[in-house]
Chain A
Amino acid sequence: MVAEIALTSAPSRGAAKGGLTAAMLQMAWRAVEFRIALFVFAALVLLSLVGPFVFHVSATDFNIMQRFLPPMPLGGSSWPHVLGTDQLGRDLFVRSLIGLRNALFIGITSVVGMFVVGSAIGLTAGYMGRWADLVLMRITDAQMSIPVVILAITILGVSRPTPASIIAVLILAGWPAYARVTRSVTLAERQKEYVRAAKILGASDLRIVVLHIAPNILPPAAFVAVLDVARMMIFEAIFGFIGIGIQPPTPTFGTIIADGTQYLLNAWWITTAPGLLLAITLASINIMGGTLERARNKILQGIG
């Protein structure tokens, strides 16, 4: 029955111009939480870009006079130290914003990188099949079975960690997941009629993969990759916490939280307040990603 209704009411199904991608965006946009999350996220990004200039407060200069100022509504706080100050009197809000900017940069760049590398390998393995598939997938399995943290501390533990090396490590750890997903979708896609049609027309394998298969399967995967931006930001924080992230004096969430643990009882806000800002950012990303993922699932399951 579902099929018959789907056919008789076909226009509503294909209403979105531009196919799957546009349909996903439209469906996600209809959800209130998506719009709220997008707004929060946009505001935070804007703040992280312009905030440090607006507040005229240095993130790195010590100010012994203003140590341990609590965050804003509490007694003893003072403008413009919205989130208070740390043990050296540095403004936590500006430090967090700079940390956020770095985390976002690392998160987004690394996800783009792992998406590109992983998809290329997954498409190749899935389309070529046979030995290429076998070899690439075994490498993928091996890479996947090294925990990220081991890989990261092995590489970053000694060499001085820079944003570039952190991004490289994250890409190295993250690509296999994309390769696997892309490969399995490609395997299914390879059987489809449009691929057969292109073969009959005489299209080369490269042409089929790049022009026909990739545009069909990559956009839905790309939307879900939004969720990974948040994961990578968490990893960036973990690296900072362990001491293998971007090195001081540049503030990162991980170092701020790690430094604050020594003063946990007296100045709890040093750890918690910046962490909360990070959590809010992550939540906005995750809600957007989650809504997009659900929209994709719904569309792929044929409802909506």
Chain B
Amino acid sequence: MASPLLSVRGLSVALTNRGPDRSLVSDVSFDLHEREVLGIIGESGSGKTVLSRALVNWIKPPLRISAGSVLYRGRDLLQLPPREMQRLHGREIGYVGANPGVALDPTLPVGHQIVEKLRAVEPEVSDREAKERVLKLLDAVRIPSARRRFDEFPFQFSGGMMQRALIVDALVSNPAFLVADNITQPLDVTVAAQTLRLLRDLQKDFKTAVIFISSSLGTIHEIADDVLVLEAGRAVEHQRLDALLRTPEHPYTRRLIEKVPRIWDAAMQGSQVPHESEPILRVRDIAKTYHVRDRRSLFAKRSVQAVRGVSFDVMRGENFGIVGESGCGKSTLSRLLSRIEAPDEGEIRFKGKDVAHLSSREMLSLRKGFQLILQDPFNAIPNHFPIGRTIAEPLLIHGMKGKREVRERVLSAMDEAGLGRSLYDSLPVGLSAGQRQRVNIARAMVLEPELLILDETLSALDAVEQAKLLDLFENLQAKHRITYIYISHDLAMVRRVCTRIAVMYLGRVVELADNRTMFFDPGHPYTRALLSAVPAIEERPYAAERYLLEGEPPDPVDIPAGCTFRSRCPFAFERCEREDPRLYQRDAANLSACHLVDPADRRADLAFAISARSVS
């Protein structure tokens, strides 16, 4: 093989803050060849971002490169004078990071900034030529109406669109290699899968070598040729991808592979509590529309239809899942369910009582029965109260007086949530995310609720902590017969715990199915698209080539007539244009909002049969 493009030897980076140096990356060595895609996998805190920055000589105090070399075409990047290095940045070395939203100046149009960059690294290119090149690439990454988008501002781009624009920004100068640090991490699954596919295509067209850094083995699996495994700043293993998965050598790699959540190979372990016939929560046709100012005409307003007629029942003792990508209306739904806001239409009945028409006193007493636990463990609890006081707050709000009694209740809630009693008087400063989430749980549990809504409660936690809390939830359920509603974008977690699942798209439930049906025989094309996009290392029943969607959901302001999914649906036919599908009953337990499963439509039967056959 020819000499490598990039040759890294003994690279080490240290943190030189107060106190002794702490090594974040130690003695990493590898080669990157032309046109190769090298995946670097590491858990959060493994130093992978620091490594990715060291590879392009972009390390700043308090970090310091303590040893090693990065030879690029024979020159050590780490020894180059700053001027030389700056000439390589952006020109021969591209970098795309994990925060597309804040990577560009928010006050200037995206296209103009890419042109500015291109002209900075290639001053000989004229303005017009630069603009043409950028437009061509924006088209190539399938940014719709690129000419208009060229003059739009970063805040007008969605996360996925912005990440594509940044890929354009990195590739426009045709660099020799590209470092992509966790670029799909902030994106929704379908958008992330699209972005990966795009990057792979471009990499082939441009013959660029790529270092692809990620914390998800499933994602690396989609793109890399070789994989380097990083544990606590050390490279513990380096193999071809398939070999690594088949025959991992290092125990850490084995653990890593085991930890990847399985969707289809796993069994469901969730709630086993027998269902009752009477639902604890009954939601009927709720809708919520927000009004925002319209900037295109004088004094006009635009209506954003966040939730458009959602109905479902949640049975006592079950785990009900609500999944969907950003903008599907699940956070609005969570606000409606927790009664922070009232729906415009429809009703929510908790234990038979309509929560919309209660006096504030009745509402307060009903609140004890259902609680919501939020996603962000750092902002959800006040920093200026001791932990015990925070957990006591709901009791005080609900009028409990006796000091001893409150203390007892708080302490027993802390026991249940797995918080040490010694934390009672300490401030939350210094607690880990997991511990903070336990404070949240204790604060909800102290009211002895019957229904807990978990709004992305576990999303901010790592896999280990997540598993522990899931066990905790299971224990609490066994003990108190609590009903859970999991609102999440994490399909693997939902697969593990939920008995029934609602899939949301653009403010609607498009599929309502039990766990098995949802993952093995979904009725809606969107559900299949979701399943095809989940990063995974196992064999999946829905291949991305066939089911993955192009584009992004339509703007919830201008919702097209007919089926809202039609514009992205590979199976759309003429009825979808005319008629908005309602939720059709597929069998006793499962519903789908797709004409393909409408029992009354014979042609639909046929089409469904065809699509079903092509799946198997």
Contact = CB atoms under 8 A, between A and B. Distances in A.
A200 interface: yes
A215 B384 contact: yes
A19 B447 CA distance: 28
B142 interface: no
B382 A200 contact: no
A230 B49 CA distance: 47
Given A12-B17, A19-B429, A193-B376, A201 B394 contact: yes
B379 A17 contact: no
A9 to B, nearest CB: 7
Given A4-B45, A17-B427, A216-B382, A200 B397 contact: no
Interface string B393-418: 11001100000000000000000000
B367 A200 contact: yes
Interface in A151-204: 192-194, 196-204
Interface residues of B, number: 37
A1 interface: yes
B75 to A, nearest CB: 24
A194 B381 contact: yes
Interface in A1-42: 1, 4-5, 7-12, 14-20
B340 interface: yes
Interface in B342-396: 363-364, 367-368, 371-372, 374-376, 379-384, 393-394
Contact of B427 (A19, A194, A216): A19
Interface in A126-165: none
Most-contacted residue by chain A among B15, B340, B429 (CB, 10 A): B429
Contact of A194 (B17, B379, B429): B379
Contact of A14 (B44, B49, B340, B430): B430
Contacts of B53: 1
B499 interface: no
B380 A194 contact: yes
B443 interface: yes
A5 B63 CA distance: 10
B427 A207 contact: no
A212 interface: yes
Interface string B322-352: 0000000000000000101000000000000
Given A5-B15, A193-B380, A18 B374 contact: no
B397 A17 contact: no
Contacts of B44: 4, 7
B392 to A, nearest CB: 11
Contact of B374 (A15, A196, A207, A215): A196
B397 A203 contact: yes
B397 A4 contact: no
B443 A1 contact: no
Contact of A197 (B17, B363, B381, B430): B381
B430 A11 contact: yes
B144 to A, nearest CB: 31
Given A4-B45, A17-B427, A19-B429, A192 B398 contact: no
B440 interface: yes
Nearest to A213: B382
Nearest to B58: A1
Given A197-B374, A200-B340, A200-B371, A20 B383 contact: yes
A197 B50 contact: no
B393 A203 contact: yes
B15 A201 contact: no
A84 B424 CA distance: 62
A65 to B, nearest CB: 62
A198 B440 CA distance: 11
Contacts of A4: 44-45, 49-50
B45 A7 contact: yes
A1 B49 contact: yes
B340 A196 contact: yes
A207 B18 CA distance: 41
Given A19-B383, A193-B379, A212-B382, A200 B427 contact: no
Contacts of A10: 430
A9 B379 contact: no
Interface in A231-262: none
A19 B431 CA distance: 13
B38 to A, nearest CB: 20
A303 B278 CA distance: 54
Contacts of A14: 429-430
B384 A200 contact: no
Given A17-B429, A196-B340, A199-B340, 4 more contacts: A4-B49, A14-B430, A198-B393, A201-B397
Interface of A: 1, 4-5, 7-12, 14-20, 192-194, 196-204, 207, 212, 215-216
16 contacts: A1-B49, A1-B50, A1-B53, A4-B45, A4-B49, A8-B24, A9-B15, A193-B374, A194-B382, A196-B374, A197-B380, A201-B371, A201-B397, A202-B363, A204-B397, A212-B382
10 closest residue pairs by CB, A with B: A193-B379, A193-B380, A202-B367, A14-B429, A201-B394, A19-B383, A197-B380, A202-B364, A215-B384, A193-B376
